[in-house]
Structure 1
């Protein structure tokens, strides 16, 4: 132990990954989570090769892979079920070294949480102020026992899309903006095999990911005004997409009432000029909230965490140079992926004009599968930094 102390604000996937990465390099870590208990709200996600390599670097790769995960070929279809582009699983492994993996968010969160000592996590904590001086930082929060102050050598802002730390320390950056789409998502029991596939229709998208263990994660997204709600959200999805190709109607029929989450999609449209201010570093959605169109939100948060841990391996000594390295290594890549994800949504799910849709679909059908996979692989092709000797 080097006795350097880091306070991580936020106990989601990015925050817990950062806490583990720093602990692996000798830091004492305190995680402050606003919720009264440490749990993940959500459905499923896809872990690409970069995310799996990051979890390997945290020592959690085997735990994530050991479940009954289904591997199924997939790709992109139109609403009648015709394949526009197929993913060759063997070719993906050849290019990236591993296939993508579907996992429930709660499962990944539990694996991360269980790898941390319970004493390092404080729930029910509302962070009110963070101060950062040349030699130390200070976090003021209100917890179950009233106002508290924690001294730290490093503060990690992993407090998500509506990050208070970002708003406090980067007041010139506008709040996240609506990306133009609303999305429904859930994970359900479903015994029939399904591919990991996306279906595009005019201004609409449906995705399905097998999670293994007889579970399937599905989501739907529509271009719509923000703030919409329906008395019966499942009925609203069925009305829009219920006549699409199989197994979409069966997945909707197998979804119990009351399990569907609906959220408008927001992103950080104004990129941060730096992820670092003093002794505070942002990561994950707090730093680069992106649309989900490339499936890289969790993967980029895990990458952030692994790199932050690696550059801070020397402890608090030399921290300014370490945080400068973190910003240099992470900001260009994560912001480029955020831009690409937004573009992917514009030319994918949000495309509405029939002629434009026909041109896009034809271009996809004519693109060789290997070339399409190379285009996807450039986002997933990432290696963690070498461990310091």
Structure 2
């Protein structure tokens, strides 16, 4: 008889994992505050927060307590066929603090965007399908297309991949989902593309994270809002990376002066546990019927209980003010670093979400930074992406800037 080995006692091996990531060589074993440690005892100042997930840093006592409390009920999971209080409380909290009428919970950002596409098409059919054919029994509804913007990243599942403007991600998986178009970030082109007879929704990241930390101009967003309202097109804001406190407001749309029809959320929502959400306005909510969408795990009692705690922290006015003020200071320091070293071509961002264009390969800089004890990300071949925990202090940011300056000046000269 074969000997059974517990997964918790079996020797670990990266070779057993499917190679969908180029992982750094160290093994992370512990975290506290804004610092991570590897199995060899090396410390790393974290300017990534798990790609905008760990907004509260590491070892947050309240987060640990919320996980324990959520598990202590004995109901880690219950089907959405039954009511549980944590998800209902979380939905009410989000609705009360936003434009939304209803919230839907899922497991990830990609799922949230997939759901938003479905909700947009369901709503479009409700307002545009031939009478008596709202369910599509007799044919497709002409008003079904989804439009995203150049530089967008909305996920890697097959539906949202069609709205993600990364050729290397798309090419191996063609043909992609139909009825999705990528348009330039230009109001004149959008005026042509956004045909109200055909287009159900346009999806926009207020700040494009994976696409280079590119801020979509508030003026363009306001014109887009006016255009979509006039043409009965749903405006969806993908706030998966830039939302929930990252820009110094609870929702990213609050920084733009524009109110969307739907917002998608994920990353920090449940403090590192898998959770996404779609917030929808009253008109779209009214179009969604039982059976139109579903999820096995979305909004389960454990993750929702934890998310209630996380949002109580991320919605704290003092924390949001800290992000705004510290982020503005950090942006000034990055620009000064660029002027001082000549190694930076441009700096973009807001709050604690920053992109730094470099002359040298961003990947090479990330590797040298890791060796020097600083974790940073890329957002393109020549762009560094900085997403520290929202609780980070100016002192820790200054310490990271010092490491980054040494890393930049030790590299290749500008071209």
Q: TM-score, normalised by structure 2?
A: 0.22
| Structure ranking higher in strand proportion | 1
Larger Rg computed on CA atoms: 2
Q: Which has the higher contact order (CA 8 A, sep 6+)?
A: 1
Q: TM-score, normalised by structure 1?
A: 0.23
